[in-house]
């Protein structure tokens, strides 16, 4: 089963008015059908069976059925606010999250979406979503917001998160979600913190990486180690229990917005053209800095092991 790949919270955070979450009530406006949809900023990407799905600014949802060569806009999305995370459990059932605490669901592979949750009085955005199966899912966002569902998203319950070590309250922004094959879930956060849940998001414990900056993204490598991406080109590797983290040397200072893993193939991308790739499961990396310095926001490996990249200017041209 192919699941969500991490998203570009770094670009999103630069645009969000995080300290002004109270605003006029939202009027839900459907996403417009536009001719240049593939040039919209893509903030997350994932797999719906054999279909690639990207979500981003203005409620744009992009679909590709040929491994990323051609893209089209989804025909019906009920919101035009930014979508920041996406997760599918099979070829048809998926969820997306975004501004105003929005959670959207699809049962046709992303062609059309319905609103499951929308907080119209307060813009407390959700940054990432992960579903373990068709019923159990988790969404996370601003100021330690954690929502869980046991019924496929028909109802969502907010989960209390205790304060991190040395703090008096839980107010970290939870930015990325990723899981291993056994259902252990990880959330990347500020101040070098990673949260781990072994019960589908109901309870969490903190893994201190020794890093002080914000961690934007992460993934579980084939051998079970964690690979985390943070500010200013920071890549960290550590064990699943949160011990023995070490920094992976990189030359770029662009924040790492997404990590993609497909077996031994590993790719981390980020702002200012940051791109490093490994073909040995993350034991060694090759720097592949983008020549134009364009900020990369999400990444997937297609069926042939070729990276499909997304940026603040939309879908990157497919390599021939």
* Main-chain dihedrals φ then ψ at residue 169, nearest 5 degrees: -150, 160
Residue 33 falls within a domain, yes or no? no
Could you give the number of structural domains in the chain? 1
- pLDDT band of 168, cuts 50, 70, 90: confident
Rg (CA), the chain: 18
Residues contacting residue 20 through CB under 8 Å, at least 6 positions apart: none
The CATH number of residue 166's host domain is 2.130.10.10
Helix (H, G, I), strand (E, B) or coil at 184: coil
Which one-letter DSSP state was computed for residue 263? Answer: T
Q: Is the pLDDT of residue 13 over 50?
A: no
- pLDDT band of 317, cuts 50, 70, 90: confident
The confidence score (pLDDT) of residue 40 equals 93
Cβ proximity of 237 and 256 under 8 Å: no
Percent of the chain with pLDDT strictly greater than 90: 76
Residue 26 falls within a domain, yes or no? no
pLDDT in tens, 59-115: 999 999 999 999 999 999 999 999 999 999 999 999 999 999 999 999 999 999 999
Residue 68 falls within a domain, yes or no? yes
Helix (H, G, I), strand (E, B) or coil at 38: helix
- The length of the chain is 320
The confidence score (pLDDT) of residue 215 equals 95
Q: Is the pLDDT of residue 19 over 50?
A: no
Q: Is the pLDDT of residue 116 over 70?
A: yes
- Segments forming the whole domain that contains residue 104: 9-16+38-315
Q: Which of 12-16, 60-64, 203-207, 264-268 has the lowest mean pLDDT?
A: 12-16
The confidence score (pLDDT) of residue 288 equals 81
Residue 104 falls within a domain, yes or no? yes
Residues contacting residue 250 through CB under 8 Å, at least 6 positions apart: 233, 234, 235, 274, 276, 285, 287
Residue 257 falls within a domain, yes or no? yes
pLDDT in tens, 225-257: 999 999 998 999 998 877 789 999 888 888 999
The confidence score (pLDDT) of residue 291 equals 61
Residue 80 falls within a domain, yes or no? yes
The predicted model gives 41-58 an average pLDDT of 96
Q: What is the mean pLDDT of the chain?
A: 89
Residue 288 falls within a domain, yes or no? yes
The confidence score (pLDDT) of residue 164 equals 87
Residue 1 falls within a domain, yes or no? no
- Which two structure tokens, joined as six digits, stand for 176? 């990325």
The confidence score (pLDDT) of residue 122 equals 76
The predicted model gives 176-181 an average pLDDT of 95
């Amino acid at each position: 089963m192919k699941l969500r790949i991490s998203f570009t919270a770094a670009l999103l955070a630069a645009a969000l008015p995080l300290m002004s979450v109270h605003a006029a009530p939202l009027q839900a406006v459907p996403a417009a059908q536009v001719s240049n949809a593939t040039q919209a900023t893509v903030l997350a990407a994932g797999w719906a069976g054999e279909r690639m799905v990207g979500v981003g600014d203005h409620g744009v949802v992009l679909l590709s059925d040929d491994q990323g060569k051609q893209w089209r806009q989804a025909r019906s999305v009920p919101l035009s606010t930014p979508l920041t995370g996406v997760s599918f459990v099979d070829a048809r059932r998926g969820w997306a999250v975004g501004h105003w605490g929005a959670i959207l669901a699809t049962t046709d592979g992303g062609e059309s979406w319905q609103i499951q949750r929308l907080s119209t009085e307060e813009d407390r955005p959700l940054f990432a979503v992960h579903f373990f199966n068709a019923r159990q899912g988790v969404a996370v966002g601003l100021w330690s917001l954690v929502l869980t569902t046991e019924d496929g998203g028909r109802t969502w319950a907010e989960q209390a998160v205790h304060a991190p070590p040395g703090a008096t309250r839980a107010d970290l922004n939870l930015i990325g979600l990723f899981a291993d094959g056994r259902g252990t879930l990880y959330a990347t956060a500020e101040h070098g913190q990673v949260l781990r849940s072994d019960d589908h998001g109901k309870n969490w414990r903190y893994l201190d990486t020794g890093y002080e900056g914000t961690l934007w993204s992460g993934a579980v490598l084939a051998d079970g180690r964690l690979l985390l991406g943070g500010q200013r080109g920071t890549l960290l590797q550590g064990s699943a229990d949160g011990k023995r983290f070490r920094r992976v040397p990189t030359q770029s200072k662009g924040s790492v917005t997404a990590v993609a893993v497909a077996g031994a193939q590993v790719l981390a991308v980020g702002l200012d053209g940051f791109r490093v790739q490994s073909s040995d499961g993350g034991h060694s990396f090759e720097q592949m800095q983008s020549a134009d310095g364009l900020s990369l926001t999400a990444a997937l490996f297609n069926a042939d092991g070729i990276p499909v990249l997304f940026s603040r200017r939309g879908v990157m041209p497919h390599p021939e």
